[in-house]
Amino acid sequence: MDKFVKALAMNNQIRVFLVNNTETVNEAIKRHDLWPSAASVLGKVMAIGAMMGGLLKGDEALTIKVNGNGPIGNVIVDANGSLDVRGYVDHPHVHFSSQKSGLDDALTVGLDGYLDVIKDLKLKDLFTSTIALQSSLASTFNYYFMESEQTPTAISLGVLIDVDNTCKTSGGIILQVLPNATESTILALEKRVQSLNQFSQLLDTTSLIDILNLLFDQDYTLLEEKATRFFCSCSKESFARALLTLGWEELDKINREDHHIDTVCHYCNSTYHFDEEDIKKIMKELTHE
């Protein structure tokens, strides 16, 4: 089971989010037939999604969209306060293998584009922030937290893809400096962050709680320990509602010409089949309006 933890550390001056989302990424690989570079990028954005979900209440939700005009196209991740995460990329069959730096996220995503974060806090309007992509996914999200939430942040993300193209390990850590942090805390934190260079290796061999112990010794308070998973809320009913927007005449035409509609959910790749009877049922709802 994938895990998420949230903690306050260093005398309550640092907020910590930590996730291991290996199973989530393997589910995404299976559903979307992701090649390794695509899996690395989506896995990292899904890790960020799960950790940002940790800032939301149960029914609040957010969507992360990354597009750097690279071969992968759009990278889209949804997460909610229950830490259900789903996501997809436009082009799953992307792989680069640069021997020095492993899987090359920048080549896969491209650098010429934007990160959008759209938050649904169940208020009247959605909140959208847009920032230019930086040289890496981690630095892009660092910049996002600084620009849109005025919070100095350090982020490490790691995905290891095995020789059989499954995900060996995936996860991330977000460290945020709270307003009450002293200069000496920030300096001490910087030193500890440097020890996270091999973050994906660490994640592969160490539990989240042991990573907290490693980073902060006993100087932290665990606020939350939760499961996170790949979960898509789509259903045949939700697609039936979407088909209503085609209108009676268009549905009638489809029924006469094709006798069915197959809809595919981008997020989870599930297919829903609507036969003539199903379509007639939808048309009936339209005549009642």
The contact set with Zn ion (CB under 5 A) reads 232, 234, 265, 267-268, 270
In whole angstroms, the minimum distance from the beta carbon of 31 to Zn ion comes to 9
Say how many C-beta atoms besides its own lie within 10 A of residue 134's C-beta: 16
Comparison of 234 and 244: residue with beta carbon closer to Zn ion? 234
Q: How many Å from the N-terminal Cα to the C-terminal Cα in the chain?
A: 46
| Residue 25, token pair as written in the block | 């990424």
3-state SS, residue 137: helix
Q: What angle do CA 165, 86, 9 make, to 5 degrees?
A: 90
In whole angstroms, the minimum distance from the beta carbon of 52 to Zn ion comes to 20
8 Å CB contact between 21 and 2: yes
In whole angstroms, the minimum distance from the beta carbon of 266 to Zn ion comes to 8
Taking the C-alpha atoms of residue 132 and residue 153, their distance in angstroms, rounded to an integer, is 17
In whole angstroms, the minimum distance from the beta carbon of 268 to Zn ion comes to 3
Taking the C-alpha atoms of residue 200 and residue 44, their distance in angstroms, rounded to an integer, is 11
- What one-letter code names the amino acid at 136? S
Radius of gyration (Cα) for the chain, nearest Å?
Answer: 21
Comparison of 101 and 238: residue with beta carbon closer to Zn ion? 238
Taking the C-alpha atoms of residue 42 and residue 105, their distance in angstroms, rounded to an integer, is 10
In whole angstroms, the minimum distance from the beta carbon of 238 to Zn ion comes to 9
Taking the C-alpha atoms of residue 102 and residue 80, their distance in angstroms, rounded to an integer, is 31
Comparison of 77 and 283: residue with beta carbon closer to Zn ion? 77
In whole angstroms, the minimum distance from the beta carbon of 270 to Zn ion comes to 5
- What one-letter code names the amino acid at 108? T
Comparison of 134 and 263: residue with beta carbon closer to Zn ion? 263
Q: What angle do CA 146, 129, 52 make, to 5 degrees?
A: 65
In whole angstroms, the minimum distance from the beta carbon of 233 to Zn ion comes to 7
Alpha helices in the chain (DSSP H): 22-32, 36-53, 105-109, 137-149, 183-194, 199-205, 208-216, 236-244, 248-257, 276-287
Comparison of 185 and 270: residue with beta carbon closer to Zn ion? 270
Comparison of 234 and 286: residue with beta carbon closer to Zn ion? 234
In whole angstroms, the minimum distance from the beta carbon of 271 to Zn ion comes to 10
